[in-house]
């Protein structure tokens, strides 16, 4: 099976560590020189970039958080003059406080190559007809995978988020061999095919690369059985440029991390101390090659373990496990990342409801659904009419703010808060 970038994916580990150190030094220098936010942070800690002499010195550097990125919207963390920036994407978060990703021409080139590595590891070749149903737009998924697939030389169909029957028709007409998108969407396509009486073996599908939301081995098995493909996991996050951070190889024993472009720490989310090798912790990323948006020790909120042992496929890069869960209550639905804090902000404008609510994500049929269970502050006297109007008002405001469809379920006063406030802010039943 082809390895896209043999030199970097199969590097001797000592050579890799040396490359990481050199790139880390350059990155910290760039941050210090060009980003006032980082200069202040490093000055406050008395850290001089020249003092960074080993990879262990990374631990003295400050963390960067999602809040830091939001606070710097739109350009405050950009480390190059704007004329050097050739592309922006926005995180798929809410409309209220998005985070910006900026790319120079070199950043785009690296990004393309990293995604191409994942595609080659997932068996995609220039013979493939690749149907991409990630969204093309501010979300990094569509463009990111598109560029990588073109670099491989595959024939690319940028179908984006078309209606499901159209996806099926294109699969038939163009004999798509590879599907790329969100795993939940792949299952929706499978269900649509069944409804349209299209047999998977009448198609040419062979392989699929899926990511951008949590999924499980059970979900993988279901996708493989219903679409007659081999399914691979790909991982990334906007703050690191989008997809291309890690991807599975045919051994499917973890996702190979692009360690020559990202320095990965696995830390205890509470203490911030490294966890023992092989144990689960929060993935914390430092960019090593980014020009437009270098980030130091970015707290991803994703929990996984990392295994640095060599893989039978020949790649020497460490492998991360599937993301098991997150440190916060972010839920991902239809590719949108929803934070309970943003929901709370919208609900705060409604005096009729208490601050207690719960996000429940389910998959009752073909599509994932988001239910927001909201506790009423008290019971209005003319309860029927008022409650219906309130429910519709809240739903409309949340839909506009979060950019996803959802249903509001109003609960009697104290049905959540009565439990001593000990209830999860988000419940995701999709992967159970
Ligand atoms: O989802 C980038 C991406 C696009 C990755 C296409 C893969 C394919 P964001 O919208 O910023 O970026 O969401 C990033 O999604 O922190 C994880 O919590 C979650 N996530 C991404 N890939 C996976 C995966 C893109 N394979 C957030 N498994 C991350 C589980 C994933 N969770």
Q: pLDDT digits over 119-169, tens only?
A: 999 999 999 999 999 999 999 999 999 999 999 999 999 999 999 999 999
Residue nearest to atom 21 of ligand 1 (CA): 212
Is residue 417 predicted with pLDDT exceeding 50? Answer: yes
What does the pLDDT average to over 7-24?
97
What is the C-alpha to C-alpha distance for residues 362 and 335, in angstroms, rounded to an integer? 14
Residue nearest to atom 28 of ligand 1 (CA): 214
Report CA(89)–ligand 1 centroid distance (Å).
Answer: 14
Report CA(236)–ligand 1 centroid distance (Å).
Answer: 5
Q: Which atom of ligand 1 is nearest to the CA of 145?
A: 6
Q: Which atom of ligand 1 is nearest to the CA of 301?
A: 16
- Cβ contacts of 253 within 8 Å, gap of 6 or more: 311, 319
Handedness of CA 57, 42, 294, 265 (dihedral sign): positive
**% of the chain at pLDDT higher than 70:** 97
Exposed / middle / buried, residue 365 (Cβ in 10 Å: 0-12, 13-18, 19+): exposed
Q: Which atom of ligand 1 is nearest to the CA of 91?
A: 11
Give the pLDDT confidence score for residue 41 in this predicted structure: 98
Give the pLDDT confidence score for residue 335 in this predicted structure: 81
Give the pLDDT confidence score for residue 342 in this predicted structure: 86
Report CA(238)–ligand 1 centroid distance (Å).
Answer: 8
Report CA(387)–ligand 1 centroid distance (Å).
Answer: 37
pLDDT in tens, 327-376: 988 888 888 889 888 898 899 899 999 888 999 999 887 788 999 999 99
Choose which residue among 211, 244, 245 to substitute to test ligand 1 binding: the one with the highest number of ligand atoms within 8 A of its C-beta: 211
String of DSSP letters for 15-60 = HHHHHHHHHHHHHHHHHHHH-HHHHHHHHHTT--GGG--SGGGGGG
pLDDT in tens, 64-119: 999 999 899 999 999 999 999 999 999 855 445 678 999 999 999 999 999 999 99
**Side by side, which strands form the sheet with 281-287?**
262-267, 281-287, 298-304, 325-326
Contact 256, 234 (CB under 8 A): no
CB-based pocket (< 6 A), ligand 1: 91-92, 134, 140-141, 211-214, 233-238, 242-243, 300, 302, 323, 326, 332, 337
Average pLDDT over the chain reads: 93
Give the pLDDT confidence score for residue 93 in this predicted structure: 57
What is the C-alpha to C-alpha distance for residues 28 and 421, in angstroms, rounded to an integer? 43
pLDDT in tens, 375-390: 998 887 667 788 889 9
CA dist 82 to 29, 73, 88, 295, Å?
Answer: 19, 14, 11, 17
């Amino acid at each position: 099976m082809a390895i896209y970038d043999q030199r970097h994916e199969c590097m001797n580990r000592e050579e890799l560590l040396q490359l990481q150190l050199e790139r880390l030094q350059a990155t910290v220098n760039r941050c210090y020189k060009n980003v006032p936010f980082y200069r202040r942070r490093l000055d406050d800690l008395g850290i001089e970039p020249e003092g960074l002499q080993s990879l262990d010195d990374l631990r003295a550097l400050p963390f960067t958080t999602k809040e830091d990125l939001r606070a710097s919207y739109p350009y405050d963390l950009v480390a190059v003059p704007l004329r050097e920036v050739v592309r922006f994407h926005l995180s798929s978060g809410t409309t209220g406080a998005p985070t910006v990703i900026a790319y120079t021409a070199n950043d785009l080139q690296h990004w393309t190559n990293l995604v191409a590595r994942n595609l080659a590891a997932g068996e995609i070749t220039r013979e493939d007809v690749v149907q991409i149903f990630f969204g093309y737009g501010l979300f990094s998924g569509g463009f990111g995978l598109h560029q990588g697939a073109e670099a491989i030389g595959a024939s690319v169909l940028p179908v984006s988020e078309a209606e499901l029957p159209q996806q099926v028709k294109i699969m038939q007409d163009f004999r798509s061999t590879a599907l790329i998108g969100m795993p939940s969407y792949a299952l929706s396509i499978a269900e649509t095919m069944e409804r349209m009486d299209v047999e998977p073996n009448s198609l040419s599908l062979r392989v699929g690369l899926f990511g951008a939301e949590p999924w499980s081995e059970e979900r993988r098995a279901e996708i493989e059985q219903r679409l007659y493909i081999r399914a691979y996991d790909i991982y990334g996050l906007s703050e690191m440029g989008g997809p291309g951070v890690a991807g599975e190889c045919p051994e499917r024993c973890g996702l190979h991390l692009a360690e020559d472009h990202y320095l990965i720490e696995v830390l205890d989310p509470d203490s911030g101390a490294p966890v023992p090798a092989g144990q689960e912790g929060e993935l914390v990323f430092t960019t090593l090659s980014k020009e437009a948006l270098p980030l130091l020790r970015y707290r991803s909120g994703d929990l996984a373990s990392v295994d640095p042992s060599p893989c039978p496929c020949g790649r020497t890069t460490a492998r991360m496990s599937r993301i098991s869960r997150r440190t916060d209550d972010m839920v991902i639905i239809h590719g949108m990342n929803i934070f309970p804090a943003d929901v709370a902000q919208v609900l705060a404008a409604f005096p009729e409801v208490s601050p207690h609510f719960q996000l429940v994500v389910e998959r009752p049929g073909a599509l994932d659904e988001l239910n927001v269970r909201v506790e009423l502050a008290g019971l209005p006297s003319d309860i029927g009419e008022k409650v219906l109007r309130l429910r519709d008002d809240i739903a409309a405001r949340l839909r506009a703010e979060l950019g996803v469809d959802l249903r509001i379920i109003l609960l009697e006063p104290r049905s959540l808060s009565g439990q001593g406030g000990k209830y999860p802010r988000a419940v995701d039943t999709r992967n159970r």
